[in-house]
Amino acid sequence: MLELRPNCELCDRDLPPGSSDARICSYECTFCGDCVENRLFNVCPNCGGGFVTRPIRPSTAWREGVGISHQPAVTSRRHGASERDDIDAFTGKLRHIPPQDR
């Protein structure tokens, strides 16, 4: 089950569970759409993978025991450990390779 992390790991923008602006990689690294498109160029600075829109967990329990009220989002914020120059160098090497070919 996805953690639904609460913030962009780069700019620290709030990304609540219902946000359609949250993007995740296959490791669930979480960033906002603006950072993914304009700063990371669809390259995860942690793993080198690409991003997809994070799914939104249903607010209504359409099946018993399933929904945001039963499996809430995590509240601990995450911040990337890399420095801006390291991120730029890393994403610069990979940004021209499609995610499925990385």
The domain spans of the chain are 22-97
Nearest partner of 31 among 75, 79, 72, judged by Cα:
79
Q: Give 22's strand partners.
A: 32
What does the radius of gyration of the chain's CA atoms come to, in whole angstroms?
A: 15
Q: What is the pLDDT of residue 33?
A: 98
pTM: 0.90
Give, in order, the Cα–Cα distances in Å from 51 to each of 57, 65, 68, 72, 85: 18, 29, 23, 22, 21
> What digits encode the pLDDT tens for the residues 19-76?
999 999 999 999 999 999 999 999 999 999 999 999 999 989 999 999 999 999 999 9
Residue 80 reports pLDDT greater than 90: no
